[in-house]
Amino acid sequence: MSSVPAVTSPRLDVEAVRRDFPILSRVTDSGRPLVYLDSGATAQKPNCVIDKLAEVFREYNSNVHRGVHALGDRVTGAMEGSREGIRRMLNAPEVEEVIFTGGCTLAINTVAHGWGRKFLQAGDEIVLTEMEHHANLVPWQMVAREKGAKIRFIPQTSDGRLDLDQLDSVLNSRTRLVAVTGMSNVLGTINPVGTIAARVKQYGAVVLVDAAQSVPHGSVDVQGLGIDFLAFSGHKLYGPTGIGVLWGRRALLEAMDPFLGGGNMISRVWGDRFECGAIPAKFEAGTPPIAEAIGLGTAVEYIESLGWDAIAAWEHQLTSHAHARLGQIEGLRIMGPGIEHRGSIVTFTVDGLQATDLATVLDTRGIAVRAGHHCTMPLHDRLGITASTRASLAFYNTPGEIDLLCEGIEHARKLLMRKRRS
């Protein structure tokens, strides 16, 4: 995804889009309309995805790749059609390189345990960033501890970007893998993945991208980026929960070990051994999340019908508006870089207010935001705070909702400060 959309990007009909998401017309328990600003945790689902899930269960619920009956054929075809749609979205060379998993976390763990445990050795180095979600940190800590490998971190600039001037001081002949987020789930930083990958390849290392936050906001070209693995979750891409995707280069997927064992991932089993099946079955042990995979394919079709450029342009406008309005609030500090280097995530602290208290007051006004460490404890430690408040925007949000957020923060400041003085 590019950091700044072209000014010629097509226009998004936001009011029409909002009608596609039934939950957005909901009135909350407070009697106010829902203002949903937590899409970075999970995005809402359009009618077409909701209807597709119901269609699968009503009309052709069956297991895949097994039965020869009509229901089995239809559901298998639908799931494999979704796989092809995701291949096109990623510009992956081969559809077999697209692996369905239970989520982004499981996708990263599949690489950590299937590739890392097989190929990492004592003294090897894994390079990460301090802005990584725990899902792209803890699995590497587990493997590093087992294999005797070392973890190093790419330094950050004061405004929350990766300091590429120091990248070559971190990379060396012992570097085996670099795992980096495409977009920080706290700072909103859009990392220059292609530039990083080109530098990493000079050292012969493998590159994995945690794209959970970046995939929903712009088109991705895995071949153009020059990366080796990419992982993302379906529920942040307006699809169902319980479904994720791992893309990997064929040669790497074929060389690594399976992470899970059981049905469907084998070609032959004897009493004392087994042979793996071909990819993608090799990494899809057991019954997969079938309806969820089909629903994810429908979500991809829906997003592509809106147009990636139109989505990126509108979200950039929203982020600009949020920066301008939030910046006017006394004592509020926005974390991360300027809007030219960030996606549609705005995380902040407010002097004198606890993040959880602020989010609770906002909830009484129908405004849903995230409060806490956002599964990035090392990043919060580096910033010298324990928690923050996050508004994560999507293409179905409006400037008016951001204005309501700002009014809610001002209300919370006055309310909580008054309680503190009494």
At residue 1, the pLDDT reads 39
CA–CA distance from 403 to each of 32, 210, 284, 326 (Å)?
A: 15, 31, 45, 9
At residue 40, the pLDDT reads 98
Which residue intervals of the chain bear CATH 3.40.640.10? 50-304
Which residue intervals of the chain bear CATH 3.90.1150.10? 14-33+307-421
- HSE-up (13 A, CA, CB side) for residue 231: 23
Q: Which CATH number fits domain 50-304: 3.40.640.10, 3.40.50.150, 3.40.50.2300, 2.30.30.60?
A: 3.40.640.10
Q: How far apart are CA 204 and CA 227, in angstroms?
A: 12
Nearest residue to 197 (alpha-carbon basis) of 219, 232, 230, 169: 230
At residue 10, the pLDDT reads 72
Q: Find the catalytic residue in 48, 104, 276, 375.
A: 375
Query: pLDDT tens, position by position, for the chain (422 residues)?
Result: 333 333 345 789 999 999 999 999 999 988 999 999 999 999 999 999 999 999 999 999 999 987 789 999 999 999 999 999 999 999 999 999 999 999 999 999 999 999 999 999 999 999 999 999 999 999 999 999 999 999 999 999 999 999 999 999 999 999 999 999 999 999 999 999 999 999 999 999 999 999 999 999 999 999 999 999 999 999 999 999 999 999 999 999 999 999 999 988 999 999 999 999 999 999 999 999 999 999 999 999 999 999 999 999 999 999 999 999 999 999 999 999 999 999 999 999 999 999 999 999 999 999 999 999 999 999 999 999 999 999 999 999 999 999 999 999 999 998 887 766 66
At residue 87, the pLDDT reads 98
Instruction: List Cβ neighbours of 213 (8 Å cut-off, separation of 6 or more).
Output: 40, 181, 182, 183, 184, 185, 236, 343, 345
- pTM higher than 0.85: yes
At residue 30, the pLDDT reads 86
Would you say domain 14-33+307-421 falls under CATH 3.90.1150.10? yes
Q: How far apart are CA 133 and CA 135, in angstroms?
A: 5
Give catalytic status of residue 375 as yes or no: yes
At residue 7, the pLDDT reads 39
At residue 3, the pLDDT reads 38
